[in-house]
Amino acid sequence: MVSEYRLNIKPIETKYKSEPKHISLLIAACTLTIPMVIVGCSQETKKTQNELSPISTQSQSKTVSNTLQKQELRVVSSKLGSLAVMKKQGTLEKSLAAKNFTVKWLEFAAGPQALEALNAGSLDIAATAESLPIFAQAAGTPLVYIATTRFNGGAVSFLVPKNSPIKSVADFKGKKISFQKASIAHYVLLKALQKEGLKLSDVKSLFLPPPDANVAFSQGGIDVWVIWEPYITRNV
């Protein structure tokens, strides 16, 4: 059994010029496009069917066949937010079917892993909180923001074991705190420590992805776990 300690943090306001008070939800690699392929010919090369040689006809048939093949859009599988709803309802599949696209949903341990896949070209669309793409862009990763959603301040919590002596952020000093590096949990922890006059160097940071942190937390290996849903509900 564990108990939950929720820090009352106000929703973080970002300063995007075009989307004030919003956070990034949906991002895609800047090379991602959804092409609209039109088979045709220019005025200079236009010919009637009778004028086409057998070789030309065969070549055109192969071209048309290739353009009609279904293309795959790889999207991160999120358990929260609009992407989770879209996956459940099949909205994306229905919308892209007419454009000859199929959708493949891929699961990742957390946002950083999804962005690594995005940068490597093995993922087309990822969903994450606002801080992660900021870290990624600072490291030179090219990203394009294509949609945003409002931030729920209660979506990230500090979890401590039952009967823990930790009662506030001020008690974090010297404690082992687990969080996913370069994630929204990382950012929330930094802001919470800053508010109490503490630095990240004042705590023992454990950079663990959620699945590994979940095991460590259940075994009493960490003092504080900075995490989001659905891990909060699973452990409280």
| Calpha distance 64→74 (Å, rounded) | 24
* Domains and their CATH numbers in the chain: 2-12+153-235 (3.40.190.10), 23-34+70-149 (3.40.190.10)
What pLDDT score does 58 carry?
53
What pLDDT score does 60 carry?
52
What pLDDT score does 141 carry?
81
- Name 29's bridge partners: 143
- Provide the pairing of β-strand 143-149 with 23-29: antiparallel
What pLDDT score does 229 carry?
84
DSSP 8-state secondary structure symbol assigned to residue 171 = G
Report in angstroms the alpha-carbon separations of 28 from 1, 91, 126, 145. 39, 18, 6, 7
Whether the upstream peptide bond of residue 20 has omega within 30° of 0, thus cis, is no
What pLDDT score does 24 carry?
30
Long-range contacts of 16-23 (CB under 8 A, 24+ apart): 19/145, 19/148, 21/150, 22/148, 22/149, 22/150, 22/151, 23/129, 23/130, 23/148, 23/149, 23/150, 23/151
What pLDDT score does 90 carry?
94
The three-class DSSP label of residue 160 is strand
- Name 143's bridge partners: 29
What pLDDT score does 221 carry?
96
What pLDDT score does 97 carry?
93
Low-confidence ranges of the chain (pLDDT < 70): 1-68, 151-154
